[in-house]
Amino acid sequence: MHHTSRTLIAVSLSLTLTFAPLAAAFAASPQPAKGERGMVVTAQHLASEVGVEVLKKGGNAVDAAVAVGYTLAVVYPNAGNIGGGGFMTVRFKDGRSTFLDFRERAPLASTKTMYLDKDGKPVKGASLDGYLAVGVPGSVAGFETAREKYGTLTRQDLMAPAIGYAKDGFVLEQGDVASLEGGAERLAKDPAAAAIFLKPDGKPYAIGERLVQADLAASLSAISEQGRDAFYKGTIADGIVKASAEKGGILAKADFETYAVRELKPVTCNYRGYEITSSPPPSSGGVIICEILNVLEGYPLSYLGAGSAETVRLMVEAMRHAYVDRNSALGDPDFVDNPVEKLLDKNYAKEIREKIDPFRAGVSQDLMPKGFGESQETTHYSIVDNDGNAVAVTYTLNGSFGAAVVADGTGILLNNEMDDFTQKPGVPNLYGLVQGEANAIEPRKTPLSSMSPTIVARDGKPFMVIGSPGGSRIITITLEAIVNVVDHGMNIQEAVDAPRIHHQWLPNTVYIEPFGLSPDTEKLLAGMGYRLDVTDATWGQAAGILVGGKSLAEIEKGGGARYNGAIDSRAASGEAIGY
């Protein structure tokens, strides 16, 4: 994402600050959506409606999550998918929890250096565009596994709404059109993608027009009738493999036939008495959120205040230390021994606190590990049902519209997830992440992710469901929403709307959303040696649910709505719907 920004650097004693005129960029948040029996929050309003209908029909939160996943593949094509992959965190009404990993895998023919030229330099765009960028998709296997093990309704019931929207089309609103316009240039390069997502004259669709996806309807219908084999063993896999072979990719039928979902134990930790359940490796999300929270637990954030220089400084230093661990130590658990216990240890957090200088910015280069040489267009949704089962799903094509290619006849947009691997240790990926050997490309390996579908409990009951898209920033977006509710007393809508900060170790920069901090706060931080990049772009689209009230204060007082849902004000077409 290219955007202009203003950068503040403290140089000796002279400090020059330039500011854009202050506008009412962050007005008061709207009230959260309320529901007594269920809540569905997604990035596209039609998908939210589908999820609520499933709950009303007697389906549970997992049923709703599957229906929403298939529907988003139709109505939210830039990130909803059956050609990508993702994660599902589930907390059952009895307090048990589980995690499904249906993320993409590297094809069998992958090699560690497949995106480097003969001189060992990364080939521009090779891991982002076209068939060589495509990992083996996992979404269909993930949804089928979830439905078979934990759902209650039939596949036909759950897929019918998605098939209807693909076959009959759906009317485009402003948010839908903006996203299609944003992808138009890349989609135009692939004839099959252009035929679906652009009009016959090559122009993007306009508001009020209908997007029909007949090939996708046929693919979804085949899956509805035959289950996952339709995707992994039948004509859909054949079509994708054929297109890949013709257009410079390396996907083989065996990649599809051997794809398997992993059911893993979620990462759990405790923050000020709240039980956090989140994504384990191959996601870095849960581990790094917990590592940062463990560090922050030693400081009185609620007393220091939201957005104060001291709170921001402590958050940045906790992020800096945790992202070093993320980028150097974590990877696919089938290939890498992840030091999860150490990173979650409260004593390790204490060691990090002891290293934080109370007066000066830390220096990222000093934390370089020995031997050390993801997209805005993910989507997250949160669901709770009447029994108190909670589901958090984050899934993705990686970049917007993924690799921007569709295999003829399938209607399925394919991911460019291979960019999430380390192409070369020390070389930044799409999100500027500098990563190490633990995340190098190997056949059947899953790339390290930041996706963080998270469920928070208190006193043994669900308290909050939260997650977001945003590439490497997913971790800090999810973390800040939790801190905003628990430490700063915001209601769930304010917590997801509040301006964000982000630091990921390298580059050594604190990113700040427009009007995210006051000029005075920025000046104090710059004076301590922080390099601040105040962007003109916002990031993320968090989807949150709070149980028992819209804020901690209302929960303590009692009498609030049972479920309180919030879709990020940054999400143009999303909606929180309760019933």
Q: How far is CA 562 from CA 463, 489, 542, in A?
A: 10, 18, 20
Is 378 annotated as catalytic?
Answer: yes
Write the CB contacts of 464 (distance below 8 Å, at least 6 apart in sequence).
455, 456, 482, 485, 492, 544, 545, 546, 547
CA angle 493, 496, 498 (to 5 degrees): 100
Write the CB contacts of 267 (distance below 8 Å, at least 6 apart in sequence).
276, 277, 278, 279, 280, 286, 287, 290, 340, 344
Task: Decide: 74 and 213 in contact? Cβ < 8 Å.
Answer: yes
Paired sense of beta strands 454-458 and 510-512, if any: unpaired
> What string of DSSP letters covers 218-237?
HHHHHHHHHTHHHHHTSHHH
**Residues linked to residue 413 through DSSP beta bridges, in sequence order:** 406
Task: Decide: 289 and 478 in contact? Cβ < 8 Å.
Answer: yes
Q: How many CB atoms are closer than 10 A to CB 520?
A: 10
* 285: DSSP letter: H
Catalytic option among 378, 394, 422, 454 = 378
Lookup: tokens for 536: 């003109």
Could you give the count of Cα atoms lying within 13 Å of 144 in the half-sphere of its Cβ?
Answer: 19
How many whole angstroms separate alpha carbon 69 and alpha carbon 98?
A: 18
Could you give the count of Cα atoms lying within 13 Å of 125 in the half-sphere of its Cβ?
Answer: 5
Q: What are phi and psi of 305, to 5 degrees?
A: 95, 145
Q: What are phi and psi of 149, to 5 degrees?
A: -85, -35
Task: Decide: 443 and 106 in contact? Cβ < 8 Å.
Answer: yes
Q: Where are the beta strands (DSSP E) in 127-215?
A: 170-171, 210-211
Residues catalogued as catalytic? 378
